[in-house]
């Protein structure tokens, strides 16, 4: 009779597991023993980096991705990254080891005394199998639950003495044979009503979010709807993915995240159609009218919780890509005038130290059409949206919950998922330290990721918030010199440092055309970042 260990790996292989992201510990060794040669173990040197890599990997592949962490302390290290993954609806199956069952009442070293509580509320489901024979069934349920809309991370605790126990006969075959799907469309009556409202609108606008990029075909459906209905298109505030081509003539930019600011940006529109975004992720708190006078809003999203908690507008809980495709079948070409092209943002040339906006001014023309941008920096955001063009699905990723330490490991995960596409990670000198261990994995595997670090020796965005909140005397906002050239050398990757636009252009061009492995570009930029960019 097979053991639980044998049954578990047979099931995981049948579920399509080809990579396991992890950082091993003693309580995980029985699970990882005799690791299958046909499955790739992706080692990270910190649990946060492990989850960050798996997060973007799962989003790009669209498949549930297995993450193996070390019991309670390792899970605790990873929680910030799991919160990001939850906000980004990343389908992760997070597992962690647990002490021997016979010792749990004594709470020995490395025990997780309440294993399902620690990861909540950041996971959709948390479970510890009641007996060894239930491990395969628990993992099968986890994989299906992670993949069902709204997708997101789940957690399974795995006691270390379960794996040498006999498995339940025939269960693995039954579990592996099941197929569970969950994409849905609005009821025909609701879709027809939405089509009628859109047709009758005088000046409608489309707002797109991460969910439209995540849904297969959503990127293309949004562009087609904008073109047939001549809709201007905004990105939802704080979006973690881009569900619309930003080089499109209808693209307007990213909405600000304050209530009053967002309302002012959408003034003049009588109908706001939101696809794949919560309504809305506000921050900072800038009170005012949620909508301009006389404006209606309707949102399409596959997250019932986001639909229920929204303070305004109507909502259809459905797959946004399928819903937009259904709308396209009902709507004729409009006779509304097309939106006028936007005037490119005027960025003054560099005089002394580069600004972040000037960095993007140089990066934009050199960024490959099929490139992937993974960022956790909003320094220079207006220029980023204006210059860094996203032309295809799965090309932009931002830390969905605002948790730092995302960009470096996330870019590694992106390169593992899409090895033929160039990947650029952008961090600040403060934020890069949160996920710096991700460089090890890139160096170890010689992944051609470009790590670009903006050095301003401060937490500039916090200073912007301080000005807005009229707070003074806040400590810890300035940073001493951080030698990122030495950091890169320590991980075994080449680095260049510059503050000149001509040198930056040369370094970026070389990174995207000739580099064979990972490398770092360190750019000194001027301090002083206003709130919002």
d(C-alpha 20, C-alpha 8), whole Å: 14
Helices 438-445 & 407-417 angle (0-180, nearest 10): 30
Query: Does 356-524 match 4-177 at the fold level?
Result: yes
Q: Which CATH number fits domain 188-330: 2.40.10.10, 3.40.50.1220, 1.20.120.350, 2.40.50.140?
A: 3.40.50.1220
d(C-alpha 448, C-alpha 516), whole Å: 6
d(C-alpha 32, C-alpha 17), whole Å: 14
d(C-alpha 453, C-alpha 195), whole Å: 46
Query: In the structure, what pLDDT confidence band is assigned to residue 529 with cuts at 50, 70 and 90?
Result: low
The pLDDT mean for the chain works out to: 94
Distances (CA, A) of 335 to 202, 365, 440: 11, 34, 55
Tens digit of each residue's pLDDT (9 = 90 or more) over 103-125: 999 999 999 999 999 999 999 99
What letters, b where the CB count within 10 A reaches 16 and e where it falls short, cover 155-175?
A: bbbbbbbbbebebbeebbeeb
User: What is the SS3 string spanning 125-147?
Assistant: CEECCCCHHHHHHHHHHHHHHHH
d(C-alpha 45, C-alpha 43), whole Å: 7
The reported pLDDT for the residue numbered 305 is 96
Tens digit of each residue's pLDDT (9 = 90 or more) over 356-409: 999 999 999 999 999 999 999 988 899 999 999 999 999 999 999 999 999 999
Pair 243, 216: CB distance under 8 Å? no
Tens digit of each residue's pLDDT (9 = 90 or more) over 425-478: 999 999 999 999 999 999 999 999 999 999 988 887 787 777 888 888 889 888
Q: Which CATH architecture has domain 4-177?
A: 3-Layer(aba) Sandwich (3.40)
Tens digit of each residue's pLDDT (9 = 90 or more) over 286-345: 899 999 999 999 999 999 999 999 999 999 999 999 999 999 999 999 999 999 988 999
d(C-alpha 241, C-alpha 64), whole Å: 18
Coil vs helix vs strand at 450: strand
d(C-alpha 428, C-alpha 416), whole Å: 23
In the DSSP assignment, the letter for residue 168 is: P
Coil vs helix vs strand at 277: coil
H helix intervals, 396-500:
407-417, 438-445, 460-469, 484-491
Tokens matching residue 85: 């993954």
Tokens matching residue 434: 């949160």
Tens digit of each residue's pLDDT (9 = 90 or more) over 186-206: 999 999 999 999 999 999 999
Q: 521 versus 481: which is more confidently predicted? A: 521
Q: Where are the domains of the chain?
A: 4-177, 188-330, 356-524
pTM summary value: 0.96
Pair 243, 212: CB distance under 8 Å? yes
The reported pLDDT for the residue numbered 484 is 96
What letters, b where the CB count within 10 A reaches 16 and e where it falls short, cover 427-449?
A: bbbbbbbbbbbbbbbbbbbebbb
499 phi, psi to nearest 5 deg: -135, 10
The reported pLDDT for the residue numbered 62 is 96
Does the pLDDT of residue 85 top 70, yes or no?
yes
Fold of the domain spanning 356-524:
Rossmann fold (3.40.50)
Which residues, other chains included, contact 290 with Cβ-Cβ below 8 Å and sequence gap of 6+? 259, 263, 311, 312
The reported pLDDT for the residue numbered 530 is 54
Residue carrying the six token digits 């690791």: 35
The reported pLDDT for the residue numbered 533 is 46
Angle (nearest 5°) at CA 419 between 417 and 425: 80
Burial environment of residue 125 by CB neighbours within 10 A (0 to 12, 13 to 18, 19 or more): middle
The reported pLDDT for the residue numbered 472 is 83
Coil vs helix vs strand at 50: helix
d(C-alpha 274, C-alpha 255), whole Å: 12
């Amino acid at each position: 009779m097979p053991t639980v260990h044998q049954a578990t790996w047979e099931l995981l292989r049948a579920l399509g597991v080809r990579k396991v992201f992890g950082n091993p510990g003693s309580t995980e060794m029985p699970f990882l023993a005799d690791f299958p040669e046909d499955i790739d173990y992706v080692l990270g040197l910190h649990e946060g980096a492990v989850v960050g890599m798996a997060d973007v990997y799962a989003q790009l592949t669209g498949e549930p991705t297995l993450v193996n962490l070390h019991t309670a302390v390792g899970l605790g290290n990873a929680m910030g990254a799991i919160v990001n993954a939850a906000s980004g609806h990343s389908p992760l199956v997070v597992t962690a080891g647990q002490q021997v069952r016979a010792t749990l009442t004594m709470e020995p070293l490395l025990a997780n005394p309440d294993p399902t509580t620690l990861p909540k509320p950041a996971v959709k489901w948390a479970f510890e199998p009641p007996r060894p024979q239930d491990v395969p069934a628990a993992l099968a349920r986890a994989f299906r639950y992670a993949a069902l809309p709204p997708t997101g991370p789940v957690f399974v605790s795995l006691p270390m003495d379960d794996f040498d126990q006999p498995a339940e006969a025939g269960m693995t075959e039954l579990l592996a044979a099941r197929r569970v799907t969950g994409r849905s469309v609005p009821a025909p009556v609701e879709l027809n009503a939405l089509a009628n409202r859109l047709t009758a609108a005088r000046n409608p606008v489309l707002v797109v979010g991460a969910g439209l990029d995540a849904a297969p075909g959503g990127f293309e459906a949004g562009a087609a709807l904008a073109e047939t209905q001549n809709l201007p298109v905004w990105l939802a505030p704080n979006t973690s993915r881009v569900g619309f081509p930003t080089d499109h003539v209808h693209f307007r930019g990213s909405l600000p995240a304050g209530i009053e600011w967002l309302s002012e940006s959408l003034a003049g529109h009588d109908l706001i159609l939101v696809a794949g975004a919560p309504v809305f992720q506000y921050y900072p708190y800038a009170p005012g009218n949620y909508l301009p006078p006389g404006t209606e809003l309707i949102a399409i999203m596959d997250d019932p919780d986001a639909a229920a908690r929204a303070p305004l507008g109507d909502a259809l809980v459905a797959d946004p890509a399928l819903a937009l495709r259904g709308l396209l079948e009902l709507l004729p070409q409009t006779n509304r005038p097309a939106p006028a092209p936007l005037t490119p943002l005027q960025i003054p040339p560099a005089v002394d130290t580069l600004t972040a906006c000037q960095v993007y001014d140089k990066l934009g023309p050199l960024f490959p059409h099929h490139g992937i941008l993974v960022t956790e920096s909003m320094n220079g955001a207006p220029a980023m949206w204006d210059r860094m063009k996203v032309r295809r699905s799965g090309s932009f990723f931002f830390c969905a919950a605002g948790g730092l330490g995302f960009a470096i490991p996330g870019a590694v995960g992106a390169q593992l998922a899409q090895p033929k596409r160039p990947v650029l990670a952008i961090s600040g000198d403060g934020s890069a330290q949160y996920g710096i261990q991700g460089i090890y994995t890139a160096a170890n595997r010689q992944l051609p990721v470009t790590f670009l670090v903006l050095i301003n020796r401060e937490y500039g965005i916090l200073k912007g918030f301080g000005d807005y909140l009229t707070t003074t005397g806040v400590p810890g906002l300035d940073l001493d010199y951080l030698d990122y050239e030495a950091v890169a050398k320590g991980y075994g990757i080449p680095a260049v440092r510059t503050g000149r636009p001509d040198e930056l252009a040369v370094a970026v061009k070389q990174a995207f055309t000739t580099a064979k492995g990972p490398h770092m570009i360190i750019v000194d930029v001027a301090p002083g970042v206003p709130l919002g960019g």
